[in-house]
Amino acid sequence: MEEQINSAIKEALETAPERKFVESIEMAFTIKDVDLKNPSNRIEENVRLPRGRGKDVSIAIFASGEMATKAKKAGLVIIDPSKIEDLGGNRQKARKLANKHDFFLSEVPHMATIGRFLGIVLGPRGKMPRPVPPNVDPAAIATGLESTAIIRSRDKVTFHTIVGSRSQSEEDISANAMEMWKRVTSKLERGAGNIRSLYIKTSMGPSVKVEVEAS
């Protein structure tokens, strides 16, 4: 599959018009013969991209006091936990917050409140915060997330994720895409045999079909 994925990445980069911003590179899977009504068959993976995401990520944390101080030094965006209920009461503001940041963290005591007031917005986007225990430096968790991509099928047969950006070389994007391919197919009963189609594209460019070899 490496050759087919490399070829699709090359074509996607060559056919996409230049933009005034750094586009992400996306990988879209459509699976078949999988009962997604059964939650145990759904794909939800945090994949560490070996060559990184190729662009900065925005990470926010619900924290106060010492934890907020540590997080601020690490470049994280601080969200005052006392604002959680207000955010939950303003769906538009909550959606804007959810779309603004790639990942969320939270001090453990605030997790239940976040679930109650913001779960309906963050949950479907796969952005529920990762809990940060009192003795853990949030910078350490944030560092890991900087190269992490999330792929979630939920109950849909077609789903996508990022595998890098146009700031990276074809080699780097290919390494990331192969890691994503291996992770997704490893979660399917028949591996590549459960893949109906696979496409690669830049954020706003045309989709390029990858010829899938059933294993």
Edge-to-edge strand ranges of the sheet holding 24-31: 158-165, 24-31, 195-202, 208-209
Put simply, whether the predicted model's pTM sits higher than 0.85 gets the answer yes
* Mean pLDDT score of the chain: 95
Superfamily of domain 59-145: Ribosomal protein L1/L10, domain II (3.40.50.790)
How far is it, in rounded angstroms, from Cα 75 to Cα 130?
17
User: Measuring CA to CA, how many Å separate 140 from each of 137, 149, 175, 185?
Assistant: 6, 17, 24, 29
Any idea which fold 2-54+148-209 has? Ribulose 1,5 Bisphosphate Carboxylase/Oxygenase (3.30.190)
Residue 182 has pLDDT above 70, yes or no: yes
Residue 88 has pLDDT above 70, yes or no: yes
pLDDT of residue 214: 66
Give me the residue spans of the domains in the chain. Answer: 2-54+148-209, 59-145
Q: Identify whether the C-beta of residue 142 lies closer than 8 Å to the C-beta of residue 78.
A: no
Q: How confident is the model at residue 49 (pLDDT cuts 50, 70, 90)?
A: very high
Q: Taking residues 168-174, report their average pLDDT.
A: 97
pLDDT of residue 215: 57
2-54+148-209 and 59-145 share one CATH topology?
no
Share of the chain above pLDDT 70, in %: 99
Choose among 168, 162, 137: nearest CA to 70: 137
The token duo for 120 is 């309906």
Q: How confident is the model at residue 43 (pLDDT cuts 50, 70, 90)?
A: very high
- HEC string for the chain: CHHHHHHHHHHHHHHCCCCCCCCEEEEEEEECCCCCCCHHHCCEEEEECCCCCCCCCCEEEECCHHHHHHHHHCCCEEECHHHHHHHHCCHHHHHHHHHHCCEEEEEHHHHHHHHHHHHHHHCCCCCCCEEECCCCCHHHHHHHHCCEEEEECCCCCEEEEEEEECCCCHHHHHHHHHHHHHHHHHCCCCHHHHEEEEEEEECCCCCEECCCCCC
pLDDT in tens, 90-142: 999 999 999 999 999 999 999 999 999 999 999 988 899 999 999 999 999 99
